[in-house]
Structure 1
């Protein structure tokens, strides 16, 4: 049975199920803490049969834990996702075979970590014409991260500002004449884990080592207190391996088109 997370007891069970799960513990836990009591935020949280939890926002979902493979669970969850028009899923494990007739696997995301207490070797510093801002204005940062999608930039700005205002992370940016040309941040974290994301360099500044230096700088700062993790597409794995991060697994991605069903 799918249960909306509304009570303190259900929230505690949700946190228990994601505890110790890289990426999910920090990301889903932060979202639950910030938005779980605010249904109008657009975030929705559910306990699923078995050991699974589900987070939904817009047309996207994140599924953590194991689902029973019985027909009743399959039919209930499939109907639920279709009713809410969820057409993108990010999953801890591959979906059971019964779901794979409706959901098509996409390119998996590679999961990386910097263990707590370990400092990575810092790459060459950026040129002197750039300055490091440890608390940059998030509006220009959001426009750098999502330069081609104003809607996504606005959503990122709102979520990141909420997380930073509640002490859930940090943003770093390299500025040129006051404007960010490279950024990376941590906008979700738990007591044990910090999740890094939104690492972007402006096109005219790529190929100069800015991202590597900024990413390692923030990772070392966070790893002094917590395990650090982040996701990347497979074609970037060589870059992060050279920086010294450790690959620890994959996060699965699925899409569907309910109009074709």
Structure 2
């Protein structure tokens, strides 16, 4: 699918990988809705995109992907501005690390596990189902394609470290959902792929001490540096443009395999 003039939804679009993806899609000519719980940051990103690529190219929508009413409202707001979306970039997510048996011998709080799985897995599925139902009603484009969606997993889906049970489980759920969802939506001409990024220079990563960042970067075989959000965005945009990419999970990690801790 050519992204030019297509409407795109980017969850978690106010920062990090989501922001980079929103900017890359806009650069390619898409009309982008920046969906995020952080309204002010989303508005800044949208305003910057409009300043660079023309008024009306981007819109900010405050949105909680775990709440159907909030998400549906954001999708409708975006459609009113740009028309029905044919592109969904599911980037919103949270992380945590907590051992299942705590230092004091108590079990890890169930609420922590539930919160991460709810946001990363259930929230992503929520966005996917609402997007797919609307996209399936659109007229087909070339090759019968109606739309494309990309999930954001993590290398932790395969190489989860100590304390990452909740995060790894949520990301592994996205990996496991990719192929059956692609098969499910094939009849509607909607493609589904997932990117599993490694260590990237996101705002969360950059909050760590410089020495820690350098140590993490040194663990990556090549190139021995943190990934750039723009590199994630380039791969996401390539998936949109390459109509034969479907049902695939792509690691983007510089050949990194995470150690146990």
More helix by share: 2
TM-score w.r.t. the length of structure 2 is 0.30
TM-score, normalised by the number of residues in structure 1:
0.30
Q: Which has the larger radius of gyration?
A: 1
